[in-house]
Each structure stands twice: as C-alpha cells, then as structure tokens.
C-alpha cells in the first residue's frame, strides 16, 4: 500500500483492523493542513465532523465490523451538494449564508454508508464558468502543478483526491464536470447513466444534462462509491427505477473478447488533441489490444453537432434556473457565469426545441453505433492542463469538448488516467458504456489501470 | 435568428429581462455568431413528426 491508500485498500485494512479510521482521517487532515493553502480544494473544511465521524466509525467497526467498504473512508462533497447544518454556498455570493436543513440524497447515502465527511469541495459558481477569481473563495489548483488549472466544475474534488486530502468525493457533470477534473488531475471519475444517482438536493446547472457521480483515485474506488450512491429516489423526477447490480462484480475477470469502438474522428479530426494526449490514447488502445480486446472503429456525427445540441440545452436550462437572480442581481454573479447566463437571451424557444429534437436523433445514432460493442473510447480533454491564468473565457465556442456527447446521450462515461504528457501533467482516456452497463465500464477501466503503472504515481507536492 | 443589429439585440436583452452595461453588451455581441452557428447545427431536415427527447409517460402516481 502506498502512503495514500485507495478506498479498496483502506477498506481491506479497516476490515482487518489494521487501519484505524481515526488514523486515516488524521492523515488526510494533515495533508489538508499542509497543502490546501496551495490547492484550495476545500471551501469549507468540517474537521470536527470528520473526527466525530471517524471515531463513530471506529467504534462501530470494533464492535460489529464494517457495514461496507466505505465505512470510515474520508470523502468530500462538492459545494453544490446540500449538507444539513453545513454551509452550502455553491461558491456564490448569493448563498454565502445558506445552511441547508436537509442533506442531498447523495450526501445522505454516503453518510449512511459510514463515510467520514471532510468538508465541502471547491466548485465553479453553480457548477459553471470557471476558473473565477472574483468569487468569495479562490479556484482550486492542480496538484501536479499549482500554476495549472484543474478543469471544472468539480475542481476541488479532483484536486483533493489527487493530493490525498480525501480518498473519494462527489462531483457533478453537466457537460464534463466530473470527467474533466478527473482527467486533468490524473484520477478516475464516472458520470453514471442519467437517472442512476439522485439529483435531489443538488443545485441544478441544466436539469436534463445534470449527473451526480463519484471521483476517486481508481475505477475500482468509483465502483465502490457508486454502489452506495445508485438507486431510485422519488424526489428526483428523472430517477431511474431499475435493479442495482454489484458494480465490482466483473473486476478482475479480464477483457479478452470485449469489443471497444474507438471514435477516432472525435479526437483526431473534429478536435485534434495534443501530442501527449494522442500518445496516451494510442498506447491505451495498444494496451487494450494486448489484453485481448477487439478494437474497432466507430463513426458518429461530428463532435460539433453534439456540442451544439448540448450547449443550447445547457445554456437555456441554466438561464431558466437562474433567471430570477439574473434579472435582479446579475452583477452578483462571477464574471464568467454572468456571461454564460447572458447567452440565454440569444436562444429562442424554437432553438431549444430543435436542440431537444436533435438530441433524440443523436441518442439513436449512438445506440445504433454501439450495437455489438461493449464501450466506445475517445479523449476526455483535448490536452494537458492549461495554466490557470490562460483559460479562455469563451471556450464554449473555441472548440467542442469530448464529454458533452455523453451528457446529451445520458450514457455512462468514465475518465481514467492514461499517462503523463507535456510538463509531466496527466492525460486521460474516456470509456463510454451503454445505459446502466457501468459494471462493464468499470471492468475495462480497472483492467487498464492494473495493466499500466499510472496509479503508482502521486503529485510530487504530496511527497508520497 | 434575428439579424445582429442593435435594435434586435436590445429586444432580445429586454425580453430576457437583462440589464447589461455597454461593455457587457459589446462583449456579448462578439459571441452571437457562435450561438447562431449552434442553432443552425441542430436544424436538420427531419420533418414535422420528429419528436423531441423530452417526452414523458404516465406513472402510477398519475393513476392513483
């Protein structure tokens, strides 16, 4: 075990009474105190709660054994997730005094699984538009190089997991906000199938594109977290009512004969990725081939079409959600989110419905393309992390992103580390499964992580 | 989409209920073309019968 255990490693040691949840929590808190002045992964640290949770977990485990693999595991919750009695600010001036009276469904489920709540992690304001330097708290920094961006909007969870401040955490993803930070911070993050994890109690970005999901060091850890998070919730009108499988069930069973479709044109033509990212993708395909997977090519509509559809829906739904404040207190939003909200004025009702009609067509296209395949593969991010002071404000129009297509489709998509590129910054691949087929996504991602050395390396500043 | 002239622009902002500074307006005008291109991209020859993705069915709750 490395200095910073994975959730799976820590769970085994806790179950064997070889690791104390209190010691594990204290080790995470020490890293927080040492590193978070540089990283800004937390907007609100709940140190007393964490130690109380850890002591309670330890007592329960000593008496009756762990209730599951998350019992005693330190986690963070993105600060758009409601937490009873704990500030939930959405990184916004509007909600600086907001203390929810109830937990969001995902917070409640993780607490019920016995996790240790370390605090609320940094987010772009209402999960969109960063990095912003005109908000109450600064943006998170990338642990691999603190001059660089984490991507967003689940930036604090990404930075916190990579630096071992937490072993896992919650992210949300409307167009890539779990997978982007996972990619640039060199960790794993999955946007589950739409409706699999309840959105109840989580601030909306765009209702029909919003997903809640886990971020952790490995795909296996994401599977362990998703087990606790998945399930029907009548408080979320989009919540799926389906049987929940065991997400780790297929891990370790190999990928021989599984079929992986590569969407080459997404990352080679539609939006050409950096050399380092392309090397990571090419090497990953070779690894999958060596492991016995059947590699095929997949053709979809241009990435620009998927992004146009998703962006119009996202812009409009966000403008609707925050219309009242935009009309009365526009100046209180960060400059970047304000700009995104203003775009709502340009999208007509007919534009929106045409986008939603296009969405049905694109989903049908992906469904047909994935017939006979287990997953498709493409990039997660176009390049290694940019400098945090060089992130374009209007990146929405600069080039299409690789994650939005799977918010449009609602299909599960994981980002995993695929090596290191320019500046020794992480690069990533994205694996996309069929709806509710997360077990096979985890199986393939886990096989890749175990066949490659990228999980053995933490950011230098951690000293692990 | 309306033409990108000042009158149309002001109408859209007024309809949205947004009060912008001159600087914000100037910046917003520079990205109008990006939205117009997106709106064009989602329009395909699909005919009047093509359904949107957002449709719904009735649940047990409706029938109770």
Q: What is the per-residue DSSP string for A346-407?
A: G--HHHHHHHHHHHHHHHHHHHHHTTT-SEEEEESSSSSPPBGGG--TTHHHHS--SSHHHH
Nearest to A348 by CA among B10, B61, B36: B36
The confidence score (pLDDT) of residue B56 equals: 78
Task: Using CB atoms, pick whichever of B1, B18, B34 lies closest to residue A342.
Answer: B18
The confidence score (pLDDT) of residue A2 equals: 60
If one compares A396 and A183, the residue with the highest pLDDT of the two is: A183
Query: In the predicted model, what is the mean pLDDT of residues A443-453?
Result: 98
Omega within 30 of 0 (cis) for the link into A131: yes
Task: Using CB atoms, pick whichever of B12, B38, B54 lies closest to residue A345.
Answer: B12
The confidence score (pLDDT) of residue B1 equals: 42
Collapse the DSSP code of A121 into the 3-class scheme (helix H, G, I; strand E, B; otherwise coil) and give the result: strand
Residue A334 has pLDDT above 60, yes or no: yes
Mean pLDDT of chain A: 97
Q: What tokens does A24 get?
A: 């594990």
Residue A96 has pLDDT above 50, yes or no: yes
Catalytic residues of A: 78, 153, 177
What residue of A is the nearest CA neighbor of B54? A356
Collapse the DSSP code of B36 into the 3-class scheme (helix H, G, I; strand E, B; otherwise coil) and give the result: helix
CB < 8 Å to B27, chain A = 339
The confidence score (pLDDT) of residue A464 equals: 66
Query: In the predicted model, what is the mean pLDDT of residues A381-398?
Result: 95
Whole-number Å distance between alpha carbons of A439 and A436: 8
Nearest chain A CA: its distance from B9 CA (Å) = 9
CB < 8 Å to B20, chain A = 330, 342
The confidence score (pLDDT) of residue B58 equals: 78
Tell me the pLDDT band of A1, cut-offs 50, 70 and 90.
very low
Q: Do A345 and B43 touch (CB under 8 A)?
A: no
- Contact yes or no for A164/A28 (Cβ under 8 A): yes
Report ipTM (2 d.p.): 0.92
B-interface mutation test, from A175, A341, A354, most B Cβ less than 10 A away: A354
Residue A114 has pLDDT above 50, yes or no: yes
The confidence score (pLDDT) of residue A412 equals: 98
CATH 3.40.50.720 fits A7-462, yes or no: no
Tell me the pLDDT band of B4, cut-offs 50, 70 and 90.
low
Exposed (0-12), middle (13-18) or buried (19+): which is A374, by Cβ within 10 Å?
buried
Tell me the pLDDT band of A435, cut-offs 50, 70 and 90.
very high
Nearest chain B CA: its distance from A186 CA (Å) = 31
- Whole-model pTM: value is 0.97
Nearest chain B CA: its distance from A302 CA (Å) = 10
Q: Do A343 and B28 touch (CB under 8 A)?
A: yes
Query: In the predicted model, what is the mean pLDDT of residues A252-259?
Result: 98
The confidence score (pLDDT) of residue A167 equals: 98
Q: What confidence tens digit (pLDDT) does each residue in A263-275 have?
A: 999 999 999 999 9
Cα separation values, B8 from A233, A341, B26, Å: 44, 18, 14
Collapse the DSSP code of B60 into the 3-class scheme (helix H, G, I; strand E, B; otherwise coil) and give the result: helix
Tell me the pLDDT band of A288, cut-offs 50, 70 and 90.
very high
Beta bridge partners of A216: A168, A188
Tell me the pLDDT band of A287, cut-offs 50, 70 and 90.
very high
CB atoms within 10 A of CB A463: 11
What residue of B is the nearest CA neighbor of A302? B41
Residue A336 has pLDDT above 80, yes or no: yes
Whole-number Å distance between alpha carbons of A393 and B64: 50
Q: Do B18 and A326 touch (CB under 8 A)?
A: yes
If one compares A375 and B59, the residue with the highest pLDDT of the two is: A375
The confidence score (pLDDT) of residue B5 equals: 85
Residue A451 has pLDDT above 90, yes or no: yes
Nearest chain B CA: its distance from A224 CA (Å) = 31
The confidence score (pLDDT) of residue B54 equals: 84
Task: Using CB atoms, pick whichever of A330, A342, A355 lies closest to residue B42.
Answer: A355
Task: Using CB atoms, pick whichever of A326, A348, A356 lies closest to residue B52.
Answer: A356
Q: Give B39's contacts (C-beta < 8 A, 6+ positions apart).
A: A308, A312, A347, A348, A351, A354, B1
Q: What confidence tens digit (pLDDT) does each residue in A29-69 have?
A: 999 999 999 999 999 999 999 999 999 999 999 999 999 99
Interaxial angle between packed helices A349-369 and A303-321, expressed in degrees from 0 to 180 and rounded to the nearest 10: 130
Q: List residues in chain B touching A: CB distance below 8 A.
A: 1, 12-13, 15-20, 24, 27-28, 31-32, 34-39, 41-44, 46, 50-54
Residue A344 has pLDDT above 80, yes or no: yes
Q: What confidence tens digit (pLDDT) does each residue in A144-154 have?
A: 999 999 999 99
């Amino acid at each position: 075990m490395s200095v910073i255990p994975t959730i799976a490693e820590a769970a085994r040691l806790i179950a064997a009474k070889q690791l104390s949840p209190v010691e594990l929590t204290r080790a995470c808190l020490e890293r927080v105190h040492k590193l978070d002045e540089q990283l800004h992964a937390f907007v609100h640290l709940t140190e007393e709660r964490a130690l109380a949770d850890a002591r309670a977990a330890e007592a329960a485990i000593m008496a009756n054994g762990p209730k599951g693999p998350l019992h005693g595991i330190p986690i963070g919750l993105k600060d758009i997730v409601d937490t009873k009695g704990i500030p939930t600010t959405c990184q916004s001036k509007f909600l600086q005094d907001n203390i929810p009276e109830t937990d969001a469904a995902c917070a409640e489920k993780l607490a019920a699984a016995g996790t240790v709540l370390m605090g609320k992690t940094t987010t772009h304001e209402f999960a969109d538009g960063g990095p912003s330097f005109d908000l109450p708290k600064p943006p998170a920094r990338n642990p691999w190089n603190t001059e660089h961006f984490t991507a967003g909007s689940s930036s604090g969870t990404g930075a916190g997991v990579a630096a071992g401040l937490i072993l896992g955490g919650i992210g949300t993803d409307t167009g890539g906000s779990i997978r982007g930070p996972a990619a640039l911070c060199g960790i794993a993050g999955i946007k589950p199938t739409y409706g699999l994890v309840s959105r109840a109690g989580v601030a909306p970005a765009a209702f029909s594109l919003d997903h809640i999901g886990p971020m952790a060091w490995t795909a296996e850890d994401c599977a362990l977290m998703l087990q606790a998070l998945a399930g029907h919730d009548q408080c979320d009108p989009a919540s799926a009512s389906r049987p929940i499988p065991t997400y780790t069930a297929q891990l370790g069973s190999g990928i021989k004969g599984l079929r992986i479709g590569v969407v080459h044109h997404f990352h080679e033509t539609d939006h050409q990725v950096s050399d380092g990212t392309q090397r990571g993708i090419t090497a990953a395909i070779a690894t999958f081939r060596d492991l016995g997977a059947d590699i095929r090519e997949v053709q979809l509509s241009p990435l620009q079409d998927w992004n146009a559809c998703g962006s119009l829906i996202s812009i409009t739904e966000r403008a609707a959600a925050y219309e009242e404040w935009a009309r009365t207190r526009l100046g209180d939003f960060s400059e970047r989110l304000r700009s995104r909200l203003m775009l709502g004025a340009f999208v007509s009702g007919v534009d929106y419905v045409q986008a939603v009609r296009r969405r049905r067509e694109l989903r049908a296209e992906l469904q047909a393309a994935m017939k006979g395949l287990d997953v498709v593969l493409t990039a997660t991010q176009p390049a290694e992390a940019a400098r945090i002071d060089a992130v374009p404000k209007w990146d929405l129009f600069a080039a299409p992103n690789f994650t939005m297509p799977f918010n449009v489709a609602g299909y599960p998509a994981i980002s995993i580390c695929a090596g290191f590129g320019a500046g020794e910054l992480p690069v990533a691949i994205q694996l996309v499964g069929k709806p509710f087929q997360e077990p096979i996504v985890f199986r393939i991602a886990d096989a890749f992580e175990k066949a490659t050395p990228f999980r053995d390396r933490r950011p230098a500043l951690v000293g692990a | 989409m309306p033409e990108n002239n000042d009158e149309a622009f002001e109408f859209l902002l007024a309809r949205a209920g947004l009060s912008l500074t001159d600087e914000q307006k100037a910046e917003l005008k520079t990205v109008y073309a990006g939205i117009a291109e997106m709106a064009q991209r989602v329009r395909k020859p699909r005919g009047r019968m093509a359904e949107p993705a957002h449709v719904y069915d009735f649940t047990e709750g409706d029938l109770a």
